[in-house]
Amino acid sequence: MIRLSAVIPRDPHNLISLAFLFLGIFLTTTFLLAFRSRKTRSEATHSIHAYLKFFYACFVKPHTGDGTGSQQDALESFYKAQADIYDATRAKLLHGRNDMLGLVAAQLKYRTQAGLITKKPVWVDIGGGTGHNIEQMSAFLSVPEFFHAVYVVDLSPSLCEMARKRFQRLGWTNVKVICQDARAFRLHEHEQEAHQRKKTILEGQIVHDLDENADVGGAELVTMSYALSMIPEFYPVIDSLSSLLSPNGVIGVCDFYVQSKVDYQSRNYIGGVVDRHCVWISRVFWRTWFEIDRVNLEPARRDYLEYRFGTVLSINARNLFFGVKLPYYVWIGCSKDSGASTTKLAEIDAAATESPYLSALDIQTGPTAGDVVGIRSKAYESAIVNLQSSLPLPATWYQNHHWRIHHDETLQKHMRFNNKYIYAFTWEDSRVDARLLRVQPDDVILAITSAGDNILSFALEKPRRIHAVDLNPSQNHLLELKVAAFTALGYSDVWKLFGEGKHEAFREILIKKLSPHMSSLAFQFWLQNGTKTFINKGLYYSGGSGHALQLVGWLFKLFGLQDEVKRLCSAQTLNEQREIWKRSIRRVLHSRILTWTVIGNEKWLWKALGVPPAQRNIIEQDYLKQDDAPGMNPIRSGRAIYEYVLNTFEPVVNTTLMSEDNHYYLLTLQGKYSRKSHPEYLTPKAHIRLSKPDAFDGLRIHTDEINEVIARMRPGTLTIVVVMDSMDWFPPTGSHAVRQIKALNRALKLKGRVLLRSAGLTPWYIKKFEEFGFSAKRVGARMPGTCIDRVNMYASTWICTKEISMEEDDVRQGLRKIYGSVEQLKI
């Protein structure tokens, strides 16, 4: 056996030589990979020259400078020898810069269109170096036309000289290069409007502030790209950025980082923690490595940035740098005080709790009659806690839209979904819902989000408010994506995303167009998952329901039925459809072996179709009643599922034409909708209605249990509640169902309605509704050979109408106990 000490030299000089050997191998590999894509010999020669200068400046040249020890001297010592090749050698190292520029550009365009920014913006790029960011912004905005003025501020004379040459070449006269310490830069010294504003403020002060040079706002955009980590005294720089930014301005930062989850796990204002944690070896290695060039990755820089500003969007990513994952972040922020007024908080909270709007004065005077002021959303409570601690508000409060209500994504009840959604499409027939409910303009609707299709269908009816509720954060992320798409995209892009389920430029439109209309959590989710969802297999092959579609497709391929499926999906008449079904496809989908081994399997039912054990039991109990069997063994259990599936598919094929009027099963068979058969929200007319500026003003998206949401609502405000088949999920034993029914009674107005579907013809909990103030009516029943709706997945549909308020009923019961009857009390 070879001893380790025999391989590794102990002499310090040999250790240094060995380190340089490994470094040489690493850099050689870097050069070879960089040159592999070069087309000409001159390009390769130029690249070799650039990387050799980069290697010399970073790893060989002593950073002694002129001996003053100042930060400018240190920077100039480092950058002077490589200023002319800086941009060429940083492309593979400094990732995220274009994403940051795209995100801040999208925010500026939105705020300009919304009237929040009423003049040509001023942009200050701190640590702007060679001006690379300014030129790259032209991919998103016209710098000479869009911006009134752009200031590139950097402390290195050599880099500033390169920037001046760049803008002289481009002919951009509105860009000014300032060689100055970022701590000393003052916008009012360069901008006449800012100067006049500062002068007015000083004239009105009897006693001047200690820092008379502090800025008073004026920059609509401030950016820092890989500069914050190089500034030794970063606290005053970040403080100066706060005074530099205008009230409706945006700040964007991109930089390296390393951090442990121990540091941030209790913070609710950082915009999400997806991929933020760095493992121990990564933290130690990268901090040590970057300290060689005076780059500091301690968490305090990013932490203080997030403390001084409100977080709009946050991204944690890894640059796969020749096989090594280098952590970096992109952060978009705004003024910490933006939207933090008590009046604004109360207005948004009132919409979430269905309480009357209360002014800030009303809040301070205390609760009013009925104690409606005491009803608060979780989002409002979190905001008050943060304000009392001088912390920024949770990130959802800084969004351009207040659709998404703040939730704590670190709670176990949310994390148990493993950052995945089950449903990529909704299985409830929206046409039947519209016929049964007849939504009116003054309706206040609460519905389970699922894939969001039903929420969009309700939005087309323009009720006063829609509360979308789902415990799974990812289901709400999907709804957010759909709402953002209608808000920002044209019909062709919306059709690609949700009609075909694919979009070749998803990441580009996410950053450029959708990002201003999404919460930070939803944006993080789709930045991480969107490319593989919309470019690889497609949206409808993702999520738990996507497993079912993939299995069906695999079975058809195994049995050589792909052509028959295409014929079925394009059949022009019911007779043609029935003929194709009977001669080939029916025997596969109605195979008892398939049903018993796969579809009847409990794990499959839950993971792919979202059918929990309690709902499966309802199916089995109905089968026992029909079969009059004494008990349920595994064979009979499989038979129950088989019969249920048979009664689902057969009537659908016989009564609805998939190619024109049943997009639910068309999607199941081909993984996308067609131009003839699709949900109503994907029609051009629906796009016109849903893309209006006020289309989703009444939408609130709650990530919580139904009971938690309605417990924080003013009693008697909801008019319609749609719980889908969720009541089937409750076990007959226990009090879960009763608690929810009581809560629904409290939240609904008299004559308010609950629409529900069930896998059973007469589910056990209907009696509970009747016991607690509701009248129940079955408005649809699926009998063998019949079709309850175009989906036909459920055995029954019910509307439970609130007839008696539970508070009133409780009073009556109390009186009966005391006086024997209400009649005796009257006497």
| Confidence tier at 660 by pLDDT (50, 70, 90) | very high
Confidence grade of residue 772 (pLDDT, cut at 50, 70, 90):
very high
pLDDT tens per residue, range 134-146: 999 999 999 999 9
Q: Where on the phi/psi map is residue 322: left (φ > 0), alpha (ψ -120 to 50), or beta? A: left
Per-residue confidence (pLDDT) for residue 480, from 0 to 100: 98
428 burial type by CB count under 10 A (0-12 exposed, 13-18 middle, 19+ buried): buried
From the candidate CATH numbers 3.40.190.10, 3.40.50.300, 3.40.50.1460, 3.40.50.150, the one assigned to the domain spanning 89-335 = 3.40.50.150
Average pLDDT over residues 760-785: 93
Residue 818 has pLDDT above 90, yes or no: no
Query: Between 796 and 339, whose confidence is greater?
Result: 796
pLDDT range class, residue 63, cuts 50, 70, 90: low
Compute the distance between CA of residue 695 and CA of residue 487 in angstroms, rounded to an integer: 8
User: Which of 327-341, 444-458, 763-777, 804-818 has the lowest average pLDDT?
Assistant: 804-818
DSSP code at position 599 = I
Q: What is the reported pLDDT for 370?
A: 41
For residue 201, pLDDT over 70 is answered with: no
- What is d(CA 193, CA 212) in angstroms, rounded to the nearest whole number? 17
Residue bearing tokens 């905005």: 141
Give the 3-state secondary structure of residue 43: helix
**Residue 211, pLDDT score:** 52
pLDDT at position 286 is: 92
* Mean pLDDT of all residues in 122-131: 94
Residue 369 has pLDDT above 50, yes or no: no
Tell me the average pLDDT across 273-299: 90
- pLDDT single digits (tens) 610-646: 567 788 888 888 878 775 554 545 455 567 777 787 7
Q: For the domain with range 722-815, which CATH number is right: 1.25.40.10, 3.40.190.10, 1.10.3720.10, 3.40.50.150?
A: 3.40.50.150
- pLDDT beyond 60 at 85: no
Phi and psi dihedrals of 232, rounded to 5?
A: -60, -55
- Stated as kind and residue range, the H or E segment containing 738 is helix 736-747
Dihedral sign for Cα 767, 772, 777, 779, please: negative
Mean pLDDT of the chain: 83
Question: In the chain, pLDDT over 70 holds for what percent of residues?
Answer: 77
- Band (pLDDT 50/70/90 cuts) for residue 827 is very low
CB 540 within 8 A of CB 508: no
26: confidence class by pLDDT, cuts 50, 70, 90: low
- Report pLDDT for 156: 86
Q: Does pLDDT of 514 surpass 70? A: yes
Q: With 80 as the cut, is the pLDDT of residue 90 above it?
A: no
Residue (of 639, 637, 662, 661) closest to 649 by Cα position: 662
Out of 13-27, 308-322, 614-628, which region has the weakest mean confidence (pLDDT)? 13-27
Q: Is this prediction's pTM over 0.75?
A: yes
Reported as half-sphere exposure (CB side, CA atoms, 13 A), residue 667 has a value of 27
Choose between 572 and 17: higher pLDDT.
Answer: 572
Give the residue, 803 or 188, on which the prediction is more confident: 803
Other CB atoms within a 10 A radius of the CB of residue 271 amount to 29
So what's the pLDDT on residue 194? 72
Q: What pLDDT, in 10s, does the model give residues 732-754?
A: 988 899 999 999 999 999 999 99
Is pLDDT at 114 greater than 90 in this prediction? yes
What pLDDT score was predicted for residue 611? 66
More confident position, 673 or 548: 673
Which residue did the predictor score with more confidence, 484 or 204?
484
pLDDT digits (tens, 9 = 90+) for 796-815: 999 999 999 987 555 455 44
Q: What pLDDT, on the 0 to 100 scale, is given for residue 291?
A: 86
Q: Which residues, 6+ apart, have CB-to-CB distance to 204 below 8 Å? A: none
Distance (Å) of CA 720 to CA 677, 709, 741, 756, 803: 28, 15, 14, 11, 14
| DSSP three-state, residue 290 | helix
- The predicted structure's pLDDT at residue 77: 57
Cα separation of 580 and 574, whole Å?
10
State yes or no: pLDDT of 252 exceeds 90. yes
Secondary structure of residue 118 in the 3-state scheme? coil
Which is nearest to 754 in space by CA: 785, 788, 727, 714? 727
Percent of the chain residues topping a pLDDT of 90: 58
Among candidate residues 126, 164, 122, 161, the one with its CA nearest the CA of residue 143: 122
The predicted model gives 156-162 an average pLDDT of 89
User: Any idea which of 427-441, 714-728, 805-819 has the lowest mean pLDDT?
Assistant: 805-819
Q: Which residues pair with 687 in a beta bridge?
A: none
| Chain mean position to CA 776 | 38
Q: Which is higher by pLDDT, 74 or 345?
A: 345
Confidence band of 598 (pLDDT split at 50, 70, 90): low
The mean pLDDT of 188-217, rounded to a whole number, is 66
Q: For the residues 33-42, what does the mean pLDDT come to? A: 52
Within 10 angstroms of residue 312's Cβ, the number of other Cβ atoms is: 27
Q: CATH 3.40.50.150 in the chain, residues? A: 89-335, 722-815
